[in-house]
Amino acid sequence: MTLSVVIRSRDEADRLRLVLASLARQRGLSEVVVVDDGSTDHTQAVLAEAASVLPLVAIRHADSRGRSAASNGGAAAASGDVLLFLDGDTLAGPELVQRHLAAHAGEAGTIGRGEVFHLRCTRFLKNPETASPMPGQEARLAATSANELDKIRVTRQQVLDDFSSIERRAEPGIYPGAGPRLLGALEAEALRAQPGLGVLWAAASGANLSVSRAAFLAAGGFDEGLDLNEHRELAFRLCQAGLRMRLVEGARSYHLTHRTGWRDPLTERGWEAVFWRKHPIKAVKLLSVFWASLAPRSPLPARARIGTLAELEAAALADNGIDYDAARRALGLPDLPATA
């Protein structure tokens, strides 16, 4: 069995260089397919440099086509039996590829969700290796001592020879914050302890997600009309086709966070109507209620909160007398269009 890592990246050359370094010593890796989705920085130079040490396939989009189209382009060019999706700012832990391969070898029909962590220390750094600042963060870093800057750097030497020093700084969850941390923990626990839940597609991750190439292509890949929660929509279709979401223990990735923060699905709302038109089931409508319930100061009344994936499934399957449309309106979410 062979595995291709598919990376989508745009204007994050210095972070991508570190990500590619994290793949250089992976066992079981067949190839790395990087889709440069319209970058205007030095991404092409980074790829030329990495081609000497990695089995690299580089694809360039002259203009950005979006996250989903970039991932689909990478998958189409890949040759591995298994596709493992990463982002251009997500480091691969030392056993990432090996663990995903073992999961697919052990059980056919797996959708592999790895363990996700983030490095909060990188959030002000345009280049984590040199500690150069993000635009607008120059004064903040100028006031930071050289000793403190050394503590927040992430270097290729650390990635290649001392990854444990990176792991010690990592925190659970793809993004910083109590809500993302709690969501990640709930997703992992449901995948471990409740493999029969019908809503485990909601635990898919945008990076550190693996699936057989044949199943991915048969499903039609990512919906290119979605650039947020496209991974959950794909996982929904794959689960409908009979595949099973599974937590891949020890397959760890580390997101190099950035000052712009996380893409909030409660404020970036275009994804929801697209998802709903394709899959008009109550669980889709309740995703936002579930996520908002996990906020430290949730605006929802206690009775309307959904605290776990098991509660999400129960609320989707039964009429418990709670007006979730009112809960959505309380969150400022628009009504979803009627479907045929």
213 and 83 housed in the same domain: yes
Q: What is the pLDDT of residue 217?
A: 97
pLDDT of residue 261: 63
Three-state SS for 135?
A: coil
CATH for 49: 3.90.550.10
Residue 262 placed within a domain = no
Task: State the pLDDT at residue 204.
Answer: 96
Helical (H) or strand (E) element with 69: helix 67-77
Per-residue pLDDT of the chain (340 residues; tens, 9 = 90+): 999 999 999 999 999 999 999 999 899 999 999 999 999 999 999 999 999 999 999 999 999 999 999 999 999 999 999 999 999 999 999 999 999 999 999 999 999 999 999 999 898 999 999 999 888 888 888 888 888 888 899 999 999 999 999 999 999 998 888 888 999 999 999 999 999 999 999 999 999 999 999 999 999 999 999 988 999 999 999 999 999 999 999 999 999 998 666 667 777 778 898 999 999 999 999 999 999 999 888 889 999 999 999 999 999 998 888 988 888 888 888 788 765 4
Specify whether 90 is located in the same domain as 56: yes
Within a domain: residue 43?
Answer: yes
| Same domain for 194 and 326 | no
- The angle, 0 to 180 degrees and rounded to 10, between the axes of the packed helices 230-240 and 67-77 is 50
Residue 108 near residue 242, CB atoms below 8 Å: no
Q: How is 233-298 classified by DSSP, letter by letter?
A: HHHHHHHHTT-EEEEEEEEEEEEE--TT----TTT--HHHHHHHHH---HHHHHHHHHHHHTSTT-
Q: Are residues 61 and 196 in the same domain?
A: yes
Is the same domain home to 103 and 248? yes
Number of structural domains in the chain? 2
Number of continuous H segments (helices) and E segments (strands) in the chain:
15, 11
Same domain, 97 and 232: yes
296 residue type, one letter:
P
Residues paired with 87 in a beta bridge: 8
Question: What pLDDT is attached to residue 268?
Answer: 73
3-state secondary structure of 153: coil
Look at residues 256, 283, 308 and tell me which one is the last residue of a structural domain: 256
Q: How far apart are the first and last CA of the chain?
A: 43
Q: Are 182 and 317 in a shared domain?
A: no
The answer as to whether 158 is a domain residue is: no
Q: Which residue has the tokens 């319930």?
A: 293
Asked if residue 159 is part of any domain, the answer here is no
Q: Is the pTM of this model over 0.85?
A: yes
User: Has residue 295 been placed in a domain?
Assistant: yes
Q: Is 142 part of a structural domain of the chain? A: no
Same domain, 239 and 317: no
Of 256, 282, 310, the domain-final residue: 256
Distance CA 76, CA 331 (A): 39
Q: Which domain holds residue 51?
A: 3-120+171-256
Question: In the block, which residue shows the tokens 């400022």?
Answer: 332
**Domain identity same for 180 and 286:** no
pLDDT of residue 340: 45
For CA atoms 114, 260, 263, 180, the dihedral sign is: positive
Same domain? 284 vs 203: no
Any domain includes 131: no
Q: Identify the domain boundary among 230, 256, 282.
A: 256
Same domain, 86 and 33: yes
| Cα distance between residue 90 and residue 185, in whole Å | 19
Residues 178, 33 share a domain: yes
Distance of CA 294 to the CA centre of its chain: 19
Residue 243 counted as domain residue? yes
Coil, strand or helix: which one is 41?
A: coil
